[in-house]
Amino acid sequence: MYVAASTGCFPELSFSEVIEILNDLEFTAVEIVLDDGGPMTASQLVDNFEESLRLIRDTHRLDICSYNVKIEGEGEQYYTRFEKVCDLAKATKVVTLTIPSAVHGTPFNQEVEHLQRLVAIADLRGVRIGIKSQIGCLTEDPDTVKNLCDYVPGVGLTLDPSHYLCSNNRNKNYEKLLKYVYHVHLRDSKKDKLQVRVGQGEIDYSRLITQLQNIGYDQALSIEMQPDEGIDMRQELRKLRLLLDSLL
């Protein structure tokens, strides 16, 4: 395992500015957010793939561990953009994409059909899909995650333990999901607050790392924080990187 950081930690900055900061903080790997509402978008890949590829490859020797994909658009437009994201992953030798699952209330069978189509697109390019554990989505419930992964071969989980700690399903054991884990997102959290300063929360990083080691997970632990008033993001990233490095 190794520690990475998400470009989503600095959504107000350009891609090149974020890469410079992560280099200064001595990260060796980066997770790139492709958000149609942010500075780096999936729609840009459709409009100008070669230019987007050139920009994304300029990571100053940071390895790209994953793409966190948030595509706006419906119907065929969504799948067209997803195809380009998979082309990007193949061109940059990235294996794992993170995508959100459907929101609460979406019929299970509808989500299965959607994921099956995404897997078919990704498989052709040697890419795999991790659905992110997230409050407000189908993946908030560990039982639903297990069923989705079982019903759709090739789908795994991007585990974000904060979203289980803070959800109404916090009493459900998510350890049964570890065998499905493709990727990991981390921050510090309390039961009543998704993000707190590093060291003030309840995330047991040591236990989680041991559990992941036991199932043979050897991929990234990606720090995914959001800017918050009064928090020095650079300092928080440095603290969590050093903490995680000390446990590995």
CATH class of 2-247: alpha beta
With beta carbons less than 8 A apart as the criterion, state whether 161 and 174 touch.
yes
End-to-end CA distance of the chain: 7
pLDDT computed for residue 171 by the predictor: 64
Per-residue pLDDT of the chain (248 residues; tens, 9 = 90+): 999 999 999 998 988 999 999 999 999 999 999 987 777 777 788 788 888 888 888 887 899 999 999 988 788 999 999 999 999 999 999 999 999 999 999 999 999 999 999 999 999 999 999 999 999 999 999 999 999 999 999 999 999 999 998 877 666 788 899 999 999 999 999 999 999 999 999 999 999 999 999 999 999 999 999 998 878 999 999 999 999 999 99
Q: Where are the domains of the chain?
A: 2-247
pTM here? 0.94
In angstroms, the CA 28 to CA 25 distance is 9
In angstroms, the CA 84 to CA 52 distance is 11
